[in-house]
């Protein structure tokens, strides 16, 4: 359905954007970014016949997004070095003409089965929430991850249950025993978030089985990108709720992403939580994560290192440089004490170069590290839990830990991003990944994470102050 003119225009604007992008010092060294234009959610994550496939929401022709997204595609055999592939899916059918929206991958019978949301907006006077929108669930079969064998609607919009707005999307498919299940994120007519569950024996015919989660749980008006997995003996439900009121050290962004630990009742097909809802990341730029199991059976999460609807609070100056947003590092998940831990994949250690290790007795007066890198890893390990600790990074970013709260503060290099905080009862370790215009912070071996984009025009020496003794390791991270 997309015309020759569309593709010619796309190629033309992409080459114009590529020109600007080449000159941009804020391009990231070891994170995934759109080749040109706009990136949002990670989609269809899987490893198939050794190859890691990373698909993503992609509007290659404009850094503003807003146009119907495609699925961009990048592949790797080591999780660190990726190759740009041709667009995998494009909004070229009646059932997805306004966007090949988010979805997941499921490997079965020597093929990858993708499920995504085909977004359609009907012309007219609509609000596109209560009327005017279709979100069809589409099944794609691929024998190789690069080409499409079969593509068809398996749940047309009109077959969704009563009581919901037009917002039902982001299919996540998994198997339990001999049955396939699909979760969908939804918004009810009363503006409540819910997760629906469907069942299938062949991945083609899907039967609605009810509300998997949300019947007795209020948390915002819409739940996007549901994900379920069993890990370390626990059932985990991940989703991205919208519309939560900010609290002092929680829900500080406009939209959240988080998880519940609990247990699935496979008879009633419902999830019962045993933990509180916890955010996956407490920084400014994190949303719509997706997980998958790789060939080593590791549960890996990739998030969108970005967030929609943040303007006017903050913005991204890369827009004028032809691109916007990126993906987080892939993170390996584990469950400890009913909490999800996220650690950067060990594969990234192979980028380490020029290690410097030093013991520092902290004092009130900042001590500076002589270290002049734009992409690096920094680890701070305390002998005993830290009471008071400050770290100055990049141009004017500071981390401060005091009275059990860790706060990240950006100055002008945050482009409107000011401050986020998280309660951390005991802090013994910080692992920080800086990548020219991003900062990803893992606390206590991944117990808490904070991820932000930040756009320094110059960098100051890394400065440490506080009380106690710490071991500091730094590595330059080579460009991949």
What residues are annotated to the active site? 41
Work out which of 14, 57, 342, 436 binds ligand FRU, going by CB under 6 A: 57
Residue 194 or 462 with smaller CB distance to ligand FRU: 194
- Give the residue from 158, 108, 113, 119 showing the smallest Cα distance to 139: 113
Three-class secondary structure assignment of 92-111: CCCCCCCCEEEEEEEEECCE
Instruction: Give yes or no for a contact between 447 and 341, defined as CB atoms under 8 angstroms apart.
Output: yes
CB of 13 to ligand FRU, least distance (A): 19
- Indicate the pairing of strand 323-324 with strand 37-48: parallel
Residue 96 or 377 with smaller CB distance to ligand FRU: 96
Q: What DSSP element (H or E) covers 435? A: strand 429-435
Window 114-153: contact mask with ligand FRU (x via CB under 6 A)? ---x------------------------------------
Determine if 41 is a binding residue for ligand FRU (CB under 6 A).
yes
- Indicate the pairing of strand 270-273 with strand 287-293: unpaired
Residue 306 or 446 with smaller CB distance to ligand FRU: 306
Residues 409-438 that bind ligand FRU (CB under 6 A): none
Instruction: Give yes or no for a contact between 430 and 380, defined as CB atoms under 8 angstroms apart.
Output: yes
Task: Provide the β-strand partners of residue 175.
Answer: 180
CB of 47 to ligand FRU, least distance (A): 22
Work out which of 17, 32, 38, 40 binds ligand FRU, going by CB under 6 A: 40
CB of 472 to ligand FRU, least distance (A): 36
Work out which of 60, 63, 69, 258 binds ligand FRU, going by CB under 6 A: 69
Residue 41 or 166 with smaller CB distance to ligand FRU: 41
Window 84-113: contact mask with ligand FRU (x via CB under 6 A)? -----------------xx-----------
Residue 46 or 225 with smaller CB distance to ligand FRU: 225
- Cα→Cα distances 440→143, 375, 390, 443, Å: 35, 12, 16, 10
CB of 41 to ligand FRU, least distance (A): 5
Task: Provide the β-strand partners of residue 431.
Answer: 379, 442
Q: Quote the CA–CA distance of 137 and 135 in Å, as a whole number.
A: 7
Residue 191 or 390 with smaller CB distance to ligand FRU: 191
Q: For tokens 């900010």, what's the residue?
A: 246
Q: Which residues contact 415 (CB under 8 A, 6 or more apart)?
A: 314, 315, 316, 317, 455
CB of 103 to ligand FRU, least distance (A): 8
CB of 76 to ligand FRU, least distance (A): 23
Window 220-239: contact mask with ligand FRU (x via CB under 6 A)? ----xx--------------
Tell me the longest C-alpha to C-alpha distance in the chain.
67
Window 154-193: contact mask with ligand FRU (x via CB under 6 A)? ---------------xx-----------------------
Window 260-289: contact mask with ligand FRU (x via CB under 6 A)? ---------------------------xx-
Q: For tokens 């225009």, what's the residue?
A: 9
- The tokens of 175 are what? 């198997």
Cα 236–chain centre separation: 16
Q: State the DSSP string of 244-306.
A: PPPBTTB--SSB--EEEEEEEETTTTEEEE-S--EES--SSS-EEEEEEE-TT--EEEEEEE-
Residue 169 or 417 with smaller CB distance to ligand FRU: 169
CB of 196 to ligand FRU, least distance (A): 14
Instruction: List residues near ligand FRU by CB under 6 A.
Output: 40-41, 57, 69, 101-102, 117, 169-170, 224-225, 287-288, 308
């Amino acid at each position: 359905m997309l015309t020759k003119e569309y593709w010619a225009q796309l190629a033309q604007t992409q080459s114009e954007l590529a020109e600007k992008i080449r000159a941009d010092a804020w391009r990231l060294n070891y994170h995934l970014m759109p080749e040109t234009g706009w990136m949002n959610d990670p989609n269809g994550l899987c490893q198939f016949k050794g190859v890691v496939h990373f698909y993503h929401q992609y509007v290659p022709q404009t850094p503003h997004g807003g146009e119907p997204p495609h699925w961009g595609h990048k592949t790797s055999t080591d999780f660190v070095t990726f190759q740009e592939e041709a667009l995998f899916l494009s909004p070229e059918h009646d059932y997805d003409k306004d966007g090949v929206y988010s979805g997941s991958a499921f490997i079965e019978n020597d093929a990858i089965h993708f499920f995504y949301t085909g977004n359609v907006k009907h012309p007219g006077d609509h609000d596109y929430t209560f009327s005017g929108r279709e979100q069809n669930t589409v099944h794609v079969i691929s024998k190789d991850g690069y080409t499409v064998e079969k593509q068809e609607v398996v749940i047309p919009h009109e077959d969704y249950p009563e009581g919901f707005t037009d917002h039902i999307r982001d299919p996540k498919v998994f198997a339990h025993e001999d049955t396939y299940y699909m979760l969908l994120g939804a918004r009810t007519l009363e503006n409540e978030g819910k997760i629906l569950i469907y069942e299938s024996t062949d991945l083609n015919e899907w039967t609605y089985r009810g509300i998997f989660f949300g019947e007795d749980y209020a948390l915002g008006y819409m739940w996007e990108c549901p994900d379920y997995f069993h890990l370390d003996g626990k059932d985990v439900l991940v989703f991205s709720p919208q519309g939560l009121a900010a609290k002092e050290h929680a829900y500080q962004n406009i939209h959240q992403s988080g998880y519940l630990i609990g247990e699935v009742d496979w008879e009633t097909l419902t999830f019962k939580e045993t933990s509180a809802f916890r955010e996956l990341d407490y920084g400014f730029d994190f949303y719509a994560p997706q997980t998958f199991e790789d060939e080593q059976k590791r549960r890996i999460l990739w998030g969108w290192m970005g967030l929609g609807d943040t303007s006017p609070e903050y913005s991204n100056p890369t827009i004028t440089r032809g691109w916007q947003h990126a993906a987080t590092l892939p993170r390996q998940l584990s469950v400890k004490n009913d909490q999800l831990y996220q650690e950067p994949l060990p594969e990234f250690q192979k980028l380490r170069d020029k290690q410097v290790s030093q013991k520092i007795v902290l004092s009130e007066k900042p001590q500076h590290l002589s270290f002049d890198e734009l992409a690096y890893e920094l680890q701070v390990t305390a002998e005993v839990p830290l009471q008071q600790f400050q770290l100055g990074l990049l141009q004017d970013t500071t981390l401060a830990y005091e009275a059990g709260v860790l706060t990240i503060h950006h100055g002008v290099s945050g482009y409107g991003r000011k401050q986020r905080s998280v309660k951390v009862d005991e802090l013994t370790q910080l692992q920080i990944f800086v990548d020219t215009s991003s900062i990803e912070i893992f606390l206590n071996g991944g117990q808490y994470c904070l991820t932000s984009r930040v756009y320094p025009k110059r960098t100051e020496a890394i400065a440490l102050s506080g009380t106690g003794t710490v071991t500091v390791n730094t590595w330059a991270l080579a460009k991949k």
